[in-house]
Each structure stands twice: as C-alpha cells, then as structure tokens.
Amino acid sequence: MRSAGPPTRYLRSRILWPVAAPPFDNGALLAAGDTILAVGRAQDVPCPAGADRVDLGMRS
C-alpha cells in the first residue's frame, strides 16, 4: 500500500537533458510530487518499490 504523500514517479529516457550538465544516454529521474529526488544514469538511480514507472523510450 502506498503512503499518503505525493505519488513517486520513476521516469526513464534514452537521452536525459539536465539543466546544468551535458545530456547523457539511458537517463532516469525520480520525483515525488513536484520535487526531484534523484537524476542520473538509470543504473545509478534505483526505482523504489511502489513507484509509478514511466518509460519514455526513444523520446528525450
């Protein structure tokens, strides 16, 4: 069962374009509500149990 807090989303994309860093392949972003919790390569950002997973595929 999910907590009463904001929904947690785990987004993956072929290319991730951070604001303050160069783009990189196989990116992931973890967010709760409107707060970014983690951003990086998918292998470095684990997806927590119960998070909504969104695979953006080839979109960037």
The domains of the chain are located at: 8-55
User: Shortest CA distance to 29 belongs to which of 21, 18, 40?
Assistant: 40
Confidence (pLDDT) at 4? 64
Looking up tokens 């960037």 gives: 60
4 vs 35, more confident? 35
Confidence (pLDDT) at 6? 81
Q: In what order do the strands lie in the sheet with 52-55?
A: 35-41, 24-32, 8-16, 52-55
Instruction: Enter the pTM of the model.
Output: 0.80
What are 24-59's pLDDT values in tens digits? 899 999 999 999 999 999 999 999 999 999 999 875
Confidence (pLDDT) at 1? 47
